[in-house]
Amino acid sequence: MPTPALAVPKAAPWLVTARLSLGLKEIPGKATSPTIAGWLAKLKAPWKDDETPWCGTFVAAVLQSIGFVPVKGWAGARNWLNYGQKLPAPCVGAIVVFWRGKPSGWSGHVGFIVGKDAAGNLMVLGGNQGNSVSIKPFPMSRVLGYRWPLGEPRPDLTIPLPVVASDGRVSDNEA
């Protein structure tokens, strides 16, 4: 699948930073990606490996690197539902939280919205998507919520999401 072009609105400068990590992969087994280990160290995580689900680590590291304080409990994807301000609809740059397993469960996934695909799935730039930083389609039916950093200009939710290239296969590997 070709890497889609990313429109980065002025209202979401964290996407510029997130985009720099596209293609980064975790290292299977006992070894750990030096980049992911660096994120964990800067975030003062009590673990050092990339075998622990790291989607929340990616979002926290991106936001921290440009001066935002991550949500308390940043490693847990669903904790991002407590971050910043709630948005009623998706937009480019929004933090999106998904359920994983079952809607009422504890596990989830978190990433940044970059658009939608032709089928209407959200296109998400996130970590630990297929064990890498990638852009993958996610069904709207899995969304738990959208968030936006406090202090940042509220996005214009009337602007439609751009259509981003997708192979149409929704994500099924986020752990």
Residue 168: per-residue pLDDT: 86
Q: Which of 163, 146, 167 is closest to 5 using CA atoms?
A: 163
Residue 51: per-residue pLDDT: 93
Residue 175: per-residue pLDDT: 73
Total-model pTM: 0.94
Query: Consecutive sets of 10 residues in the chain, 175 residues long: mean pLDDT of each?
Result: 48 92 95 97 95 96 97 97 97 97 94 97 97 97 97 92 93 84
Residue 141: per-residue pLDDT: 96
Name, in order, each residue with C-beta under 8 angstroms of 1's C-beta and a sequence gap of 6 or more. 165, 166, 167
Residue 4: per-residue pLDDT: 44
